[in-house]
Amino acid sequence: MSEATGPSSISDFHESLRSRSTTVEQVVSSYLERMALSRSLCAYLSEFAGQSLERARELDECLSREGLDRLLERSPLFGVPVAIKDNIHVRGERTTCASRFLENYRAPFDATCVARLRDSGAVFLGKTNLDEFAMGGSGENSAFGPTAHPLQKERVPGGSSSGSAVAVAADLALAALGSDTGGSIRLPASFCGIAGLKPTYGRVSRFGLVAFGSSLDQVGPMARNVSDLAGIYRAIEGHDPRDATSARIAPSGSGPSLSSEGRPLRIGVPAEFFVEGLDPEVKSTIDRVLERLRASGATLVPLSLPNLVHSIPVYYVIATAEASSNLSRYDGVRFGVRSEAAMQAESLEAFYEEARALFGREVKRRILLGSFVLSAGYHDAYYRKACQVRRLIAEEFTRAFEQVDVIAGPVAPGTAFRRGALERSPLQMYLNDLYTIPANLAGLPALSVPIGADSTGLPIGLQLIGRPFDENGLLQAGLDVEALR
């Protein structure tokens, strides 16, 4: 017998296993049923029906042999049904990156974060939709169809981790992995009313994550609440010898307890985050939450981070430069789709032209932009300059964190917008990343927590940015915010 709804949290799920009121198989199969009924949302690009049920049955056998509590000691995510963004490798399964080019590509290995989830006992339900190669903020740039917002289908769920956000929000997975280069976890989390964490750059291995902007990309968890977020995060964090940029720093481990009692929190509020262009409903909701935090003992510290205004141009120079190079490998020589036209090409140049014609518009736009900013004669004015300003932004944050524990602000200027609304204006679309980009540029951990909804019922998120490698402190602050609800 399957349930109409899934468990509300990881601990709720484990409690029902402990009380034997359900089995892993029952829970997984109920997710699979809902996934099948919700295909119109276009949240998943592939569903692992057979594999996940088989895995669930194996886990149920372990459960009957060993008992849940012993299993949880070594597998804290025992049986947890998780969705994986389709730019992260699950061995033997397709990794399409929502691109025609990789439509037939099967991952030859597990991403490190996936292997770690597997070791922690998670069950993979499938691979989720995204903006092609994680390039986009709306979830509309998928070659396999746009992901729909679960509450209002004519609206976008946010991107690029659109499918992962929708899967969690629409009860199609208990938690999910996303990736965040300029807000791709936090933005859809905020639009869909769930929690999302972009860890510190270097905290989670990028091995097996298909690269977009290598100096900005981070894998992170998306879940219904901050405790679940922490649970997934702990499973995937930590040094990986296969990623040279993964930090050789002790994992946060269980760290300070995630209880809601704690020291008085100093919350920085940058003036640059609350300027014209911010939706008044979003602003007032955030103001209210900050006020309640203050009332419950936190200190609000006004900040000025003047270099933040340069974030968008700096980001779109650096991210596209790296992307133009990262996407060069999609040439149709060794893997991926080699179109009929490419096969007929008369010259090498014509071959490349045809093979690389499979990219979508946004991907092409970014490859062109990135090639331009790196090209001879423009490199210094764009790429080099952007790297310098990036350093200034990071330094500004370092100084700010001498006075505060976390920095608070919006995740996006507004709530979920209508599908197609920004289609003709890439620049307007890029401006949507204004609040999320600085954390990527500075490599800082950042969190999106749901704090309410606008008058039409669309969710609003609060962004919290933490000190480098202080995910514990950041998650603690997230719990504090969540406790206000």
Partner 1 sequence: MSVLDFEAVIGLEVHCQLSTRSKIFCSCPASPPAGVSVSSLQPNQNVCEVCCGHPGALPVMNAEAVRLAVRAGLAVGSRIRQASVFARKNYFYPDLPKGYQISQYDSAICEGGVVEIEVDGARKQARLRRIHLEEDAGKSVHEFGVTLVNLNRAGVPLIEIVGEPDLRTPEEAGDYLRELHAIVTTLGITDGNMQEGNFRCDANVSIRRKGSSPFGTRVEIKNVNSFRFVEKAIAFEIQRQVAVLSAGKVVVQETRLYDPQKDQTFSMRTKEEAEDYRYFPDPDLLPIVVPENWIEEERRAIPELPAQKRDRYRKDYLLPAQDTRLLTSSREWMQFFESVMASFVSTLPVDAFAKAAANLISGELSRLSHEAGLALESARVTPIHVARLVELLLGNQLSSTAAKKVLQLAWSSGDSVDVIVAREGLIQQNDAGALEPLVSAVLSENPQAVEELCSGKEKVLGFLVGLVMKKSKGRANPALIQDLIRKAVAATTQLES
Cα R_g (the chain), whole angstroms: 22
Active site residue 184: yes
Q: Which of 9, 16, 22, 215 binds partner 1 (CB under 8 A)?
A: 215
Sign of CA dihedral 412, 295, 263, 260: negative
- Contact between 324 and partner 1 by CB under 8 A: the answer reads yes
Which region, judged by CB under 8 A, interacts with partner 1, from 259-267, 283-291, 369-377, 407-415? Answer: 369-377
- Contact between 346 and partner 1 by CB under 8 A: the answer reads no
Q: Are 435 and 183 in contact (CB under 8 A)?
A: yes
Give the residue from 87, 96, 86 showing the smallest Cα distance to 359. 96
- Contact between 354 and partner 1 by CB under 8 A: the answer reads no
Give the residue from 114, 139, 322 showing the smallest Cα distance to 217. 322
Active site residue 283: no
**Annotated catalytic residue: which of 160, 162, 164, 324?**
160
Q: Are 121 and 79 in contact (CB under 8 A)?
A: yes
Q: What are phi and psi of 460, to 5 degrees?
A: -125, 135
- Contact between 245 and partner 1 by CB under 8 A: the answer reads yes
Q: Are 159 and 140 in contact (CB under 8 A)?
A: yes
- Contact between 379 and partner 1 by CB under 8 A: the answer reads yes
Active site residue 85: yes
The two three-digit tokens of residue 123, written as one number: 């069950």
Q: Are 362 and 132 in contact (CB under 8 A)?
A: yes
- Contact between 331 and partner 1 by CB under 8 A: the answer reads yes
Tell me, residue by residue from 171 to 210, as one string, x for binding to partner 1 by CB under 8 A and - for no binding.
Answer: -----------------------------------xxxxx
Tell me, residue by residue from 81 to 110, as one string, x for binding to partner 1 by CB under 8 A and - for no binding.
Answer: -------xx-----x-x----x--x-xxx-
Distance CA 228, CA 242 (A): 27
Q: What is the footprint of partner 1 within residues 253-292 (CB under 8 A)? A: none
Q: What is the footprint of partner 1 within residues 5-34 (CB under 8 A)? A: none
Edge-first strand order for the sheet with 123-128 is 44-47, 123-128, 81-85, 175-180, 218-223, 195-198, 446-453, 459-466, 406-410, 266-270, 299-303
# residues near partner 1 by CB under 8 A: 44
- Contact between 381 and partner 1 by CB under 8 A: the answer reads no
- The total of other beta-carbon atoms located within 10 Å of residue 380's CB is 9
- Contact between 320 and partner 1 by CB under 8 A: the answer reads no
Q: Which of 11, 296, 304, 328 binds partner 1 (CB under 8 A)?
A: 328
Residue ranges binding partner 1 (CB under 8 A): 88-89, 95, 97, 102, 105, 107-109, 111, 206-211, 213-215, 241-245, 321-322, 324-325, 327-331, 333-335, 348, 352, 371, 374-376, 379, 383
Catalytically active residues are 85, 160, 184
